[in-house]
Chains A and B, each alone.
Chain A
């Protein structure tokens, strides 16, 4: 194939959207390249969604399908809400890592592959052969492969192409997608500014050289115009991943203690907060384990401002007993679970929504608490502020679920106007009214005000034992019944303050239809995009995306009654109804479906998978089309 197509005068081809992937061995900087490319696109007014492709190991063996590390960027002339389907253009630092992506269905016939060609002349015969056979195979399968001497070009500028090839590729992509060169150079400057000119200069040189290289060697030249209204938005936009949004939320919520233990994929939120918390009056405590991390947070909450702990599934399992204490002692606390694949160590770097039931019911004994789930990156920010307020108002732990997809996905979002009311009030140290017991439960709502150490006359001993309103250990048989009721009542009291969810896709909220999709968490973009496509095809389908899981948002039963069939779409395991051994009596449903079936006695069906990657609109459309066709027949 002739790679030397040069037409420097060409006009860029206009595109509505494109999906780009950069895949390399671990440590070659593909993610940095992609994040920067995404940020530049965002700053030029594109809707952007990025997803990291992360191997589970820090340094997996080079040139292996499972070791691929990289990033996908979906850029378009509309707000992007999910990773989309197959990629349009891929940069591969070697051919083996692309096999891993092909196995995931990431590419289609016609996907353009820009492939490093140095492997063709590798001293090892085995590598030369692998490379040649892969290129042949890719082409046979319809991929359009361009073998490019990227490394060779980089070596003209730096001694070690492994360090720097990513910026060369960034330059290539910026040319291909007609990005602003100055924006690219500024991004590079900002990335390396602390390292000085010695590092900035060669990287900028690599970028420029990559740009020129693409111009000289490739005739792909695209332009993705900004989305409508982008110009206004750009004045107020921030570009972050979900974990950074979460970290900003922790600080904006006025929490001053984030107590954590390292766990993927939650930790980067704490990294970010640790970097800047001093400027916002807080501290990140790294505890010796997950249990101590929540214990420390509970202690901190008990003695003052509501604290926060951030973890992932395995950490949630370890924290269980102390979550029970926080429920029993009615201690406000924000627990964030950035979900990953489970059970056990599972898929540490991959997305799953399998912690819902554990979050709702994980503690032995009845331990009602508030559980919410962020659906988008800005919600990772907003819900953290809400979680802190709910925790205090309802004197209870609040579990907030996000996931690996939100954690590492990068998206531009509207910068909020900072409100001082987000921050917590100073700790009340005024005398407590002696006549008010530490648990002065309101008969109707179960709510009560909380004394804080330092308040004269408020002294009480918080205990995990069954206790009276004076927090005295209770051996009274009535007491446990009454206090269980108060703790439970708080959840109902919260539900009374919530609005019914907004139904997506419908012309009127009162509409009746054939199929209602219920979803939660990070799947919102893919699910709603699929619903939109199916509605355009004339299907009577709609969606409800839940943010509150405990309590559930009100009005669901009535909404369900207006659809012939209700089903959930989730990223957790469920048995397929027609699988071997599976009957209606033993079928295990997806987690939200389970909750809805139990709560509403409605035959809620489900479709859920655990491939470890985010749901894509295409796969949802394919599955739902089958269901809709079956309903019509």
Chain B
């Protein structure tokens, strides 16, 4: 007999969110060929697949091309100040652990002017995803040297070539006590980008993702050699790491087993300047999550507060 089995039917969501719910309805104003589009679209997909109510999600940013991202989200957003995205994001999370927080920042915004917050926010390990759109250049202000600009690259501030070897954001990040999730990915491989951001989103704690991002206008040389030669990458794989599908593995031939709980191993891959690591370098699900403390007393009634305040006054009474 033909018939419909009850458990075949889809569960009907009260509200089902589509990709449109996560977009702002405005077309993103990035240059054509910019890697930021891929990151934005992936975030929309991850949110859609997780069915996070748009009103419960907040996209926070600093200043720079990357930091326009909140304007292209249908969620709440806080487009802050240069280098200050992370303290703002931490503040949001501090008394609202129920909110889903995303941070969009760049190599200048995070590694240069925001270097202090970079270190200390990762130390706090509040539950959020940090996406560093790293294109190795200042884009919005038009081609100045950033901390990750390759040595010798000619920029407007170093017309004869950047003087210093670039800062290594991965080894620095891995060196911060209480970090809990460090990954690196490229914007031009959608499946890997998706799986990495999804894993970051599911992780409880600060997920730091450095996205090597194309800027065809100002820093093509930053990503082009990598795009053209996937063998420059080492793809990190592990059952506790990011799901990597076979198509991805077909592109990146150097696949290695790396247990993300192995910090020393992570440091070794991070430090390797010849073979750029891709995937999850480090993960510690047991790190201290700051909002578990900063949210103390949340939801206390006014009556309870009044009692607490009265007790506080009593100590100064006669």
| Chain A residues proximal to chain B, CB less than 8 Å | 42-43, 234, 237-240, 244, 248, 251-252, 254, 256-257, 259, 276-283, 285, 287-289, 291-293, 295-305, 307, 321-322, 325, 329, 415, 418, 420, 423, 453-465, 472-473
The chain A residue sitting closest to B293, CB to CB, is A283
- 23 pairs, CB–CB < 8 Å, chain A vs chain B: A237-B318, A251-B312, A276-B312, A278-B297, A280-B309, A281-B300, A283-B295, A283-B296, A283-B297, A288-B116, A295-B81, A297-B91, A298-B80, A298-B91, A299-B60, A300-B91, A321-B84, A418-B313, A453-B55, A459-B74, A460-B77, A472-B26, A472-B71
- A289 (CB) vs chain B CBs: closest residue: B116
Q: How far is the CA of A413 from the CA of B91 in the complex (A)?
A: 34
Q: What CA separation (Å) do A278 and B294 show in the bound complex?
A: 10
Known pairs A291-B116, A292-B84 / 11 extra A-B pairs, C-beta < 8 Å: A252-B309, A281-B300, A283-B94, A283-B295, A292-B117, A295-B84, A300-B94, A453-B92, A459-B54, A460-B76, A464-B81
- When distances are taken between beta carbons in the complex, the residues of chain B under 8 Å from A464 are 79-81
Q: Does B298 contact A (CB under 8 A)?
A: yes
Q: How far is the CB of B265 from chain A (nearest CB, A)?
A: 29
Q: Say yes or no: is B165 at the interface (Cβ < 8 Å to chain A).
A: no
Q: If the complex has contacts A285-B294, A418-B313, A459-B55, are A43 and B91 also in contact, measured as CB distance less than 8 A?
A: no
Supposing A292-B116, A295-B84, A418-B309 touch, asked if A456 and B90 sit within 8 A by C-beta, the answer is no
Which chain A residues border B313 with CB–CB below 8 Å?
238, 248, 415, 418
Taking beta carbons and an 8 Å cutoff, which residues of B are in contact with A? 24, 26, 53-56, 58-60, 70-71, 73-81, 84, 86-96, 98-99, 116-117, 119-120, 293-300, 302-306, 308-313, 316-318
In the complex, are the beta carbons of B87 and A296 less than 8 A apart? yes
* A302 adjacent to B92 (CB under 8 Å): yes
Among A259, A288, A329, A461, chain B packs the most CB atoms within 10 A around the CB of A461
Is the Cβ of A415 less than 8 Å from the Cβ of B84?
no
Instruction: Decide if the interface of chain A is mainly helix, strand, loop or mixed.
Output: mixed
Our count of residue pairs bridging A and B at CB distance below 8 angstroms stands at 204
- Which B residues are CB-close (under 8 A) to A288? 116-117, 119-120
| Known A248-B309, A281-B305, A283-B294; contact A240-B88, beta-carbon cutoff 8 A | no
| A283 surroundings in chain B (CB, below 8 A) | 94-95, 293-297
Knowing A251-B312, A280-B309, A423-B302 are in contact, say whether A325-B318 is a contact too (CB < 8 A): no
> How near does chain B come to A138, taking the closest CB pair, in angstroms?
37
Nearest CB in chain B: distance from A70 CB, A = 23
Chain A residues, CB < 8 A from B120: 287-288, 292
**Among B89, B293, B297, B306, which residue has its beta carbon within 8 angstroms of that of A299?**
B89
A289 and B78 alpha carbons, distance in the complex (Å): 21
Checking B24, B306, B316 against A423 with a beta-carbon cut-off of 8 angstroms, the contacting residue is B306
For the complex formed, measure the closest distance between the CB of A242 and the CB atoms of chain B, giving whole angstroms.
13
The chain B residue sitting closest to A43, CB to CB, is: B318
**Contacts A296-B94, A454-B55 given: A234-B293 contact, CB under 8 Å?**
no
* Bound-complex Cα distance A237 to B314 (A): 10
B-chain residues with CB within 8 Å of residue A459 when the two chains form the complex: 54-55, 74-77
- B95 contacts A303, CB within 8 Å? yes
Closest to B71 in A: A461
Contact across chains for A473 and B71 when beta carbons are under 8 A apart = yes
With A303-B99, A461-B78: A415-B317 Cβ-Cβ less than 8 Å: yes
Contacts of A463 in B (CB 8 A): 70-71, 77-79
A259 to B73, CA, bound (A): 28
For B56, what are the chain A residues with a Cβ–Cβ distance below 8 Å?
A: 453-454
